[in-house]
């Protein structure tokens, strides 16, 4: 089996968690991983991606690294109220953390992913939570846009 590395697993675990929570509480909201998918989808859209990894040594004198992952969520809403509601909904979900899964390709079926729970993704802090203003005439897709950026860490 081809197992994915920790960074990819954190991103996929986050996408899976938020997609399930949004689908359980909202109707008509599409969750995607890339901007290309967001541009092609009908509003409202929530785009979830791992932007970067911040690494530090775990202890002084050690070479093992502790990784904090910067998750970015872009909300493309139909209205300002919907933008605020989706942002509140998401920011209220993330502090509790979620299951960390290890993903792998299913033998004989490379298009399918197998998962195995292997810890938790723990919330660290919110870095950004704000409306994005373009200050010019913009397309409907970006009219009610919001960004949430936060740090998480994998915990076994």
Q: Please, what is the average pLDDT of the chain?
A: 92
Residue 137 pLDDT? 66
21 Cα distance to chain centroid: 12
Per-residue model confidence as pLDDT tens digits over 3-23:
899 999 999 999 999 999 999
Distance CA 90, CA 129 (A): 10
DSSP 13: H
Domain boundaries, the chain: 6-155
Q: Domain 6-155: which topology? A: STM4215-like (3.30.2000)
Per-residue model confidence as pLDDT tens digits over 64-86:
888 999 999 999 999 999 999 99
Per-residue model confidence as pLDDT tens digits over 88-129:
999 999 999 999 999 998 777 777 888 999 999 999 999 999
Name which residue leads in pLDDT, 136 or 87: 87
């Amino acid at each position: 089996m081809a197992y994915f590395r920790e960074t990819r697993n954190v991103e996929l675990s986050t996408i899976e968690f938020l997609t399930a929570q949004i689908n359980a509480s909202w109707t008509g909201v599409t969750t995607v991983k890339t901007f290309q998918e967001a541009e092609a989808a009908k509003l409202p859209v929530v785009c979830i991606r791992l932007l970067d990894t911040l690494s530090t040594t775990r202890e002084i004198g050690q070479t093992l690294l502790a990784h904090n992952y910067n998750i970015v969520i872009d909300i493309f809403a139909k209205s300002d109220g919907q933008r605020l509601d989706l942002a509140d909904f998401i920011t209220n979900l993330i502090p509790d953390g979620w299951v960390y899964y290890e993903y792998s390709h299913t033998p004989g079926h490379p298009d399918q992913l197998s998962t195995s729970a292997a810890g938790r993704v723990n919330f660290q802090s919110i870095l950004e939570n704000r409306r994005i203003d373009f200050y010019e005439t913009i397309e409907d897709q970006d009219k009610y846009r919001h960004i949430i950026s936060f740090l998480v860490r994998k915990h076994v």
